[in-house]
């Protein structure tokens, strides 16, 4: 679809003021009348943005789900997460009859697992959920740092569980995955809100490109958390006393390299260091060589489980390298 740009002549009024006329169609669409105030924002790329809104208050969106058309609780949960990520401030779930217990439980679980949501109205056949978080109080950088901490500790604990045979520690890693998931959903939600609300973007002192990059970094960190969970689940299937000591040491060596890549990507991001990000990308080959050098006895009782663990260690490093590429693109 072609973009139609209307040409407007700049006119001079008074001693030093310049004015242009606004498109009538735009004026009518937003109900603007004489003496109304509009917002004017200067953009870093030299463009000038004119908005009918002076604040973010009019960006509140509502989404309604008719539960009678949804028979599966997992499907309902995905719909609620989708509405949350897309930035709906109010989500109403209604039914023509009393909610089934599994559907009600799903709605409550959604409210408990997402950041900032709270049930503000509830009856037998209607529940209204409202987002109470002010995006300016949850800056992207703060959330990304928390995700880094969680991803790092999940990976470390999963490998520690392999070393000690601590099944409870492995279970803890699996449980923590909910925390990193909800932080990723928060980042995705904030990014969608910012991409359609340039005023909020200015308040957070970020660019639209920053918001998009934060979303990608968050997604990679969430996947790193997923691989820590895969390691933990395979650890729970292994008798650590039957693992060859040399095999274990090689696995731990690869894990340490992988974590260095993860932490170095964090340093490159915090320090806004192009060189450090590039070094991290180059160092990925060291991890790949370390993973390829791990030899597993083909007759091993845990051949498949060990293979999955090594693969997840490698994938963690690759996602860390992907984050470094995003950092380089953003800094450039």
At residue 54, the pLDDT reads: 59
Cα(34)–Cα(25) distance, rounded to whole angstroms?
15
At residue 1, the pLDDT reads: 43
**Contacts of residue 326, Cβ cutoff 8 Å, sequence gap at least 6:** 213, 216, 217, 220
> What is the greatest pairwise CA distance in the chain?
89
At residue 330, the pLDDT reads: 87
At residue 325, the pLDDT reads: 96
Tens-digit pLDDT profile for the chain (332 aa)? 445 677 788 887 776 788 888 888 888 888 888 877 777 767 666 677 777 765 554 456 899 999 988 889 999 999 999 999 998 999 999 999 999 999 999 999 999 999 999 999 999 999 999 998 887 788 899 999 999 999 999 999 999 999 899 999 999 999 999 999 999 999 999 998 887 777 777 777 788 888 889 999 999 999 999 999 999 999 999 988 888 889 999 999 999 999 999 999 999 999 999 999 999 999 999 999 999 999 988 888 899 999 999 999 999 999 999 999 999 998 88
Six-digit token pair at 283?
A: 């160092």
At residue 126, the pLDDT reads: 94
Q: What is the 3-state secondary structure (H, E, C) of the chain?
A: CCCCCCCCCCEEECCCEEECCCCHHHHHHCCCCCCCCCEEEECCCCCEEEECCCCCHHHCCEEEEEHHHCCCHHHHHHHHHHHHHCCCCEEEEECCCCCCHHHHHHHHHHHHHCCCEEEEEECCCEEEEEECCCHHHCCHHHHHHHHHHHHHHHHHHHHHHHHHCCHHHHHHHHHHHHHHHHHHHHHHHHHHHHHHCHHHHHHCCCCHHHHHHHHHHHHHHHHHHHHHHHHHHHHCCCCHHHCCHHHHHHHHHHHHHHHHHHHHHHHHHHHCCHHHHHHHHHCHHHHHHHHHCCCCCCCCCCHHHHHHHHHHHHHHHHHHHHHHHHHHHHHC
At residue 3, the pLDDT reads: 57
Cα(161)–Cα(257) distance, rounded to whole angstroms?
18
Set out the domains of the chain in order of their start, with CATH numbers: 11-55 (no CATH), 59-131 (3.30.110), 136-331 (1.20.58.220)
């Amino acid at each position: 679809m072609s973009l139609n740009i209307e040409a407007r002549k700049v006119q001079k009024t008074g001693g030093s003021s310049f004015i242009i006329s606004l498109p009538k169609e735009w004026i009518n669409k937003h109900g603007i009348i004489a003496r109304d105030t509009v917002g004017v924002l200067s953009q870093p790329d030299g463009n000038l943005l004119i908005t009918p809104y002076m604040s973010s208050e009019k960006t509140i969106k509502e989404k309604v789900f008719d539960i009678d058309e949804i028979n599966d609780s997992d499907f309902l949960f995905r719909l609620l997460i989708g509405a949350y990520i897309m930035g709906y401030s109010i989500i109403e779930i209604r039914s023509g009859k009393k909610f089934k217990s599994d559907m009600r439980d799903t709605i409550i679980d959604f409210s408990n697992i997402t950041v900032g949501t709270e049930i503000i109205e509830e009856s037998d056949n209607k529940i209204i959920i409202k987002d109470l978080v002010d995006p300016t109080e949850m800056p992207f950088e703060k959330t990304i740092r928390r995700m880094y901490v969680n991803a790092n500790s999940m990976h470390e604990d999963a490998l520690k569980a392999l070393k000690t045979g601590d099944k409870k520690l492995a279970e803890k890693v699996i449980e923590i995955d909910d925390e990193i998931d909800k932080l990723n959903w928060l980042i995705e939600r904030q990014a969608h809100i910012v991409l359609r609300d340039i005023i909020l973007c200015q308040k957070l002192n970020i660019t639209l490109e920053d918001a998009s990059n934060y979303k990608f970094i968050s997604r990679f960190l969430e996947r790193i958390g997923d691989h820590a969970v895969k390691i933990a689940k395979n650890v729970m299937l292994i008798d650590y006393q039957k693992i060859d000591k040399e095999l274990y040491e090689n696995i731990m060596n690869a894990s340490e390299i992988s974590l260095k890549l993860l932490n170095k990507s964090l340093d490159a991001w915090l320090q806004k260091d192009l060189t450090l990000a590039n070094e991290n990308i180059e160092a990925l080959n060291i991890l790949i060589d370390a993973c390829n050098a791990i030899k597993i006895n083909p007759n091993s009782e845990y051949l498949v489980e060990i293979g999955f663990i090594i693969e997840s260690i490698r994938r963690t490093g690759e996602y860390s390298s992907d984050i470094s590429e995003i950092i380089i693109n953003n800094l450039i």
